[in-house]
Chain A
Amino acid sequence: MPSGARVAGGFLGGMLLVLLPMLLALGDPYWLDIVTFAYLMAGLAGAWNIIGGFGGQFSLGHGVFFGIGAYLTAILYTEAGWSPWITLAPAMLLAVLVALLISWPTFRLRGPFFAIATMAFNQVAFVLVNYLDWPTNGPRGILIPFRAGLANMIFVQRWRYAVLMFGFLALVTGIAVLLRRSRLGYALLALREDEDAARAAGINVLAAKLEGMAISAALTAVGGALFAMYLRYVDPPTVFSLSDIGVRFALLSLIGGIGTVAGPILGAALVVPVENWLRSTLTGLWPGADLVVLGAAMVLAALFLKHGIVGAAADLMGRRTRR
């Protein structure tokens, strides 16, 4: 087991590496936007990975917690004038509350049944928010007026958003690193492998799942809030989109390496730029072609990168050392 100092060193080194693309993109607004969004998605995938990867609970309902963060921040900011920094607290709290309510019944389900049930909650949230005129403004969504200022989390210079998202990613990754070496982290890993064996080792399986889900949901809500302030517009099809949000977190983790600290970051680093590039080059030729190519790439990843980029790299290293 690596010592605490080595893990801290690895974390700081890794974060510096992650910072590099932002520094390179500083002069280029197009790339800066991509890097900013990749940081946000990496942080969100990392938050999902806490319960989905470490705990093996394949939630496809994290769009609900994301939506809570986005909508609560948008509503409290536009209606009550709360600073988005302050709204993070109630957003996290509400997300945890809803996460526990959703998890209580669904944690009795295993494997695909859990995934399907959580996905259903995402759709329920979509319908609800879309239907309600108050407080979510229904299908019209909420437009956040541009009033620049640190307290408003709205910036003129785009690089400040990149720093903000980087901070979120660093926070999520730091928590994941600490968790991976903690009692709760090991409980989640154990119950992912075998619930009966975990119980025999003294682990309260339901409690550990709920704790992991609560941390994951709270961080996802923070990501949702940042997303709302970055886009300055929230509406139901954007926030509760399964392909762009709810399932995306799981997908990025899968491609990068599920259950590893670096996996979600690598997944986002690969998918977000490629996706943007495909969209800008292929959409002009044939609308939707980018999605076809992206879908095919994901099928290939599922077939040949079973343990993600992290797993493939570990395999390569292992083969080299064995030789």
Chain B
Amino acid sequence: MTAPLLSVQSASKRFVGLLAVDSVSFDVSAGEMVSIIGPNGAGKTTLFNLLTGQLQPSGGTVRLRGQVVNRLGPHRRARLGMGRTFQIAKPLTRLTVLENVLVGAFMKHRGLRAAEGKAVEVLAEVGLLDRARHSAGELTLSERRRLEVARALALDPEIILLDEVMAGLNPSEVDAAIELYRRLNAQGLTFLVIEHNLKVVRAFAERVIVLDHGVLIAEGSAETILATPAVIEAYIGRQRA
């Protein structure tokens, strides 16, 4: 059996007195779409930051294609094929949309012409090509989210970690976004997603991981997980209350 694309083994993160992520283990295989759900403060974004290298884990290991990446900084992991978006989109506002993507494209393509070619290709993929010459600060929220994905795609990633990319979008924008991610997935790209919108989770992910108070409390297919009493109590039940 080949090693899973992303493998997390008892990853933990302690902030002084708070165990934000408590010994979480799971694997993501190539080509999968996996959602992480959980109430606010469950440790989802902290877990993401451990995976991408923004934070150093207090314990445990993160492997990318079998290689331990614990000690690698975020830029090294990005170059190794782990793309990410941010919960609050971070466009490079004073650069054009094309330049935003060019920044990442330069990592895999030497020379301006080659990098530009890659950036244009990626912008066409996410549907931002007509905005290429606009400054990134002018983009709408949903366009900013697409730009984040485009910037990640410019490095030819194998897996992209999406942090709540649907928040604040209207229903038609959500549908368009789901379609984009499904299309990229069909091309072989793996997704690990933090998502609050359960409708999106149902439509989107094959597998769901549930975090609560930093602990992985359930893992399985979307239908079974969303029907599990512990999940309903930890997440859905509390929201309805």
Chain B residues with CB under 8 Å of A182's CB are 112
Would you list which residues of chain A between 193 and 210 have a CB under 8 Å from chain B? 193-194, 196-205
Q: Find out whether the CB atom of B95 lies under 8 angstroms from the CB atom of A200.
A: no
A1-B116, A200-B84, A201-B151 known; A189 vs B99 contact (CB < 8 Å): yes
Residues 175-199 of chain A: 1 if any B CB is under 8 Å from the residue's CB, otherwise 0? 0000001110011011001101111
User: What 17 additional pairs, Cβ within 8 angstroms, besides A189-B95, A200-B90?
Assistant: A183-B110, A183-B115, A187-B103, A190-B103, A193-B91, A193-B93, A196-B54, A196-B90, A197-B91, A197-B92, A199-B54, A199-B74, A201-B103, A201-B154, A202-B79, A202-B155, A203-B107
| Listed A/B pairs (24) with beta-carbon separation below 8 Å | A183-B110, A186-B103, A186-B106, A189-B92, A189-B99, A193-B93, A194-B90, A197-B91, A198-B103, A199-B73, A199-B74, A199-B75, A199-B78, A200-B90, A200-B151, A200-B152, A201-B154, A201-B155, A202-B78, A202-B79, A204-B73, A204-B75, A204-B76, A205-B75
Question: B residues engaging A (CB < 8 A)?
Answer: 52, 54, 73-76, 78-79, 83-86, 90-95, 98-99, 102-104, 106-107, 110, 112, 115-116, 151-152, 154-155
Tell me, in angstroms, the Cα distance from A177 to B139 when the chains sit together. Answer: 27
Chain B residues with CB under 8 Å of A190's CB are 92, 95, 103
Chain B residues with CB under 8 Å of A205's CB are 75
Q: What total of chain A residues lie within 8 Å of the partner, measured CB to CB? A: 22
Q: Find out whether the CB atom of B155 lies under 8 angstroms from the CB atom of A186.
A: no
Tell me, in angstroms, the Cα distance from A1 to B90 when the chains sit together. Answer: 22
Chain B residues with CB under 8 Å of A259's CB are 94
**Minimum Cβ distance to chain A for residue B105 (Å):** 9
Q: Which single residue of chain A is at the shortest CB-CB distance from B136? A: A193
The 6 closest A-B CB pairs, nearest first, are A193-B92, A202-B107, A197-B90, A201-B104, A199-B74, A202-B78
Chain A residues with CB under 8 Å of B94's CB are 189, 193, 259
Q: Find out whether the CB atom of B95 lies under 8 angstroms from the CB atom of A193.
A: yes
Chain B residues with CB under 8 Å of A203's CB are 75, 103, 107
Q: Find out whether the CB atom of A1 lies under 8 angstroms from the CB atom of B98.
A: yes
**Minimum Cβ distance to chain A for residue B137 (Å):** 10
Q: Which of B85, B91, B103 has the most CB of A within 10 A?
A: B103
**Minimum Cβ distance to chain A for residue B89 (Å):** 9
Q: Find out whether the CB atom of A202 lies under 8 angstroms from the CB atom of B104.
A: yes
Q: Which single residue of chain B is at the shortest CB-CB distance from A207? A: B75
Chain A residues with CB under 8 Å of B91's CB are 193, 197
Q: Find out whether the CB atom of A189 lies under 8 angstroms from the CB atom of B103.
A: yes
Q: Find out whether the CB atom of A202 lies under 8 angstroms from the CB atom of B75.
A: yes
Q: Which single residue of chain B is at the shortest CB-CB distance from A196? A: B90
**Minimum Cβ distance to chain B for residue A322 (Å):** 14
**Minimum Cβ distance to chain A for residue B126 (Å):** 15
Would you list which residues of chain A between 136 and 171 have a CB under 8 Å from chain B? none
Tell me, in angstroms, the Cα distance from A189 to B106 when the chains sit together. Answer: 13
Chain A residues with CB under 8 Å of B54's CB are 196, 199
**Minimum Cβ distance to chain A for residue B154 (Å):** 7
**Minimum Cβ distance to chain B for residue A192 (Å):** 8
- Please tell me which one of the listed residues B86, B98, B104, B110 contacts residue A196 in the complex, with CB atoms under 8 A apart: B86
**Minimum Cβ distance to chain A for residue B189 (Å):** 16
Chain A residues with CB under 8 Å of B112's CB are 1, 4, 181-182
Chain A residues with CB under 8 Å of B152's CB are 200-201
Chain A residues with CB under 8 Å of B92's CB are 189-190, 193-194, 197-198
Chain B residues with CB under 8 Å of A4's CB are 112
Chain B residues with CB under 8 Å of A183's CB are 106, 110, 115
A181-B112, A193-B93 known; A200 vs B78 contact (CB < 8 Å): yes
Chain A residues with CB under 8 Å of B102's CB are 186
Tell me, in angstroms, the Cα distance from A190 to B93 when the chains sit together. Answer: 9
Tell me, in angstroms, the Cα distance from A204 to B102 when the chains sit together. Answer: 15
Tell me, in angstroms, the Cα distance from A187 to B115 when the chains sit together. Answer: 13
**Minimum Cβ distance to chain B for residue A54 (Å):** 11
Q: Find out whether the CB atom of A200 lies under 8 angstroms from the CB atom of B86.
A: yes
Tell me, in angstroms, the Cα distance from A314 to B93 when the chains sit together. Answer: 17
Q: Which single residue of chain A is at the shortest CB-CB distance from B103? A: A190
Chain A residues with CB under 8 Å of B84's CB are 200
**Minimum Cβ distance to chain B for residue A206 (Å):** 9
Tell me, in angstroms, the Cα distance from A1 to B98 when the chains sit together. Answer: 9
